[in-house]
């Protein structure tokens, strides 16, 4: 459902399917990744997912995934509606990432609101919309950045069937 690269691995999360095919059992909570680029012996077929007894290239989070963000400071961020997780690289081929829970009170309402951009100091920052409004993660941790639009955000219908929000980084602005 969601796809991202950290420059070394291809990372996928969530699932559209509801029944098992020839691969992983579909789950909206599943995060999978490929072997590190250039490390497989399958003649350039590094995008394949593998699951053997000596290699673990998947993990689960506690709720359905709503998007992926980053990489930010070398970490991939996994969002659920009211949870945020960080995938931390272990540097090991047998289990390339471990999961850290960052927040359990906010998350991201939809993947199209996640934007990798810069903060006011030019530092890398990840922006998104939560059920409480706009947030960012960067050099100062996680910050609510919606005080000046809180009156408008309070009127947003998060249950709408149409698009509630999306984001785009315009560096020249």
Q: What is the pLDDT along the chain (173 residues), one digit of tens a residue?
A: 899 999 988 898 988 776 666 566 778 999 988 888 777 665 455 555 555 555 678 888 999 999 999 999 999 999 999 999 999 999 888 888 999 999 999 999 999 999 999 999 999 999 999 999 999 999 999 999 999 999 999 999 998 877 888 899 988 87
Q: How many helices (H) and strands (E) does the chain have?
A: 1, 12
Write the DSSP symbol of residue 149: G
The encoded tokens of residue 9 equal 């691995």
Decide: 170 and 114 in contact? Cβ < 8 Å: no
Specify the pTM: 0.87
Can you give the pLDDT at residue 57?
Answer: 82
Using DSSP, state whether 108 is helix, strand or coil. Answer: coil
């Amino acid at each position: 459902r969601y796809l991202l690269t950290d420059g070394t691995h291809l990372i996928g999360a969530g699932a559209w399917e509801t029944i098992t095919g020839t691969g992983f059992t579909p789950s909206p909570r599943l995060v999978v990744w490929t072997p590190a680029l250039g490390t497989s012996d399958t003649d350039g077929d590094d995008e394949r997912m593998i699951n053997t007894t000596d290699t673990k290239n998947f993990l689960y989070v506690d709720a359905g995934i709503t998007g992926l963000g980053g990489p930010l400071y070398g970490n991939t961020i996994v969002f659920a509606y009211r949870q945020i997780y960080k995938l931390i690289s272990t540097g090991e081929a047998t289990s390339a990432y471990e999961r850290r829970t960052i927040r359990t009170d906010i998350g991201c309402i939809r993947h199209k609101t996640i934007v990798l951009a810069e903060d006011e100091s030019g530092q890398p920052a990840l922006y998104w919309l939560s059920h409480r409004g706009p947030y960012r993660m960067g050099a100062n941790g996680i910050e609510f950045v919606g005080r000046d639009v809180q009156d408008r955000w309070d009127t947003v219908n998060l249950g709408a069937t149409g698009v509630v929000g999306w984001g785009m980084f315009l560096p020249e602005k």
